Structure 1
Amino acid sequence: MIVSALAAGACLAAAVAPALAAKGRAQAQNRFDGTWSVEVITESGSCDRAYRYGVIIQNGQARYAGGGDFTITGRVQPSGGVRATISRGDAAAQVVGRLGDGTGNGTWTTSGSTVCKGRWNAERRG
């Protein structure tokens, strides 16, 4: 299901959303850089019950470890706070939460034709 995949991808990618920088300016390494495993759990709505995905953070920017066709906009604050939007077509998910030294967690909500919400948990893998 496209909305289910969006919700999962959104949560996962958003867990470690991109740090934005001015074009042409070098970005400093982010303390959250690395590989993360993110578990996404649906608590309400018709999205699939649970997912686990890999996310790679490099220079504060996140990308789905498996490639993908999601648009990710957001940021991990220096304190670890996460705010992001993940979208695909007319569906989108808003993600909020916090990353720490090796783990993180938060919540997500989709919008569009199917509305779901849930929580996510992240664990650093490398």
Structure 2
Amino acid sequence: MTRSIKLAGFVLALTMAAGAPAQAAPHDGRWSVLVITEKGNCDQAYRYEVAVGDGKVSYAGREQVEFSGTVATSGVVKVNIRLGEQGATGSGKLSGANGAGTWQGTGNNGTCAGRWEAEKR
């Protein structure tokens, strides 16, 4: 997998949104995120582990990326990912033990976009 392909996956991984971060929200915990590419020259799908704590999203994997994101009390999510010259953003919503949204990014292979689905573990 190339770095641009991985980046698209990270964005994905849990795209989270505007608003103040929640304190001890029901969304806190580990999430498994499936990122699906629908447009562009990136791998078809990725699965990543993401952690949500106190309204903040963090990548729970081994790659070293600049990852920032938030989850509002309402479940609205927004994330930004950077890996060198590559970057991606995503947004969506968590509700109960599930979530979904969209992402888009730019990497070595051009632009890619798609959707993501999340499950709380």
| Counterpart residue identity of residue 3, structure 1 | S
| TM-score, normalised by the number of residues in structure 1 | 0.83
Q: Could you say if the C-alpha distance between residues 42 and 110 of structure 1 is closer, same or farther in structure 2, counting changes exceeding 3 Å?
A: same
Structure 1 stretches of 5 or more lacking a match?
22-26
SS at match of 1:10: helix
Runs of 4+ in 1 over 4 A off after TM superposition: none
| TM-score, normalised by the number of residues in structure 2 | 0.86
| Counterpart residue identity of residue 123, structure 1 | E
Q: Are the counterparts in 2 of residues 40 and 50 from structure 1 also a CA contact under 8 Å?
A: yes
Q: Are the counterparts in 2 of residues 36 and 54 from structure 1 also a CA contact under 8 Å?
A: yes
Q: Are the counterparts in 2 of residues 16 and 57 from structure 1 also a CA contact under 8 Å?
A: no
Length, aligned pairs only: 118
SS at match of 2:111: coil
Match of 2:8 in 1: 7
Match of 1:123 in 2: 119
Q: In percent, how many aligned pairs have the same letter? A: 39
| Counterpart residue identity of residue 83, structure 1 | K
Q: Which has the higher strand share?
A: 2
User: Does residue 1:42 correspond to 2:43, yes or no?
Assistant: no
Match of 1:24 in 2: none
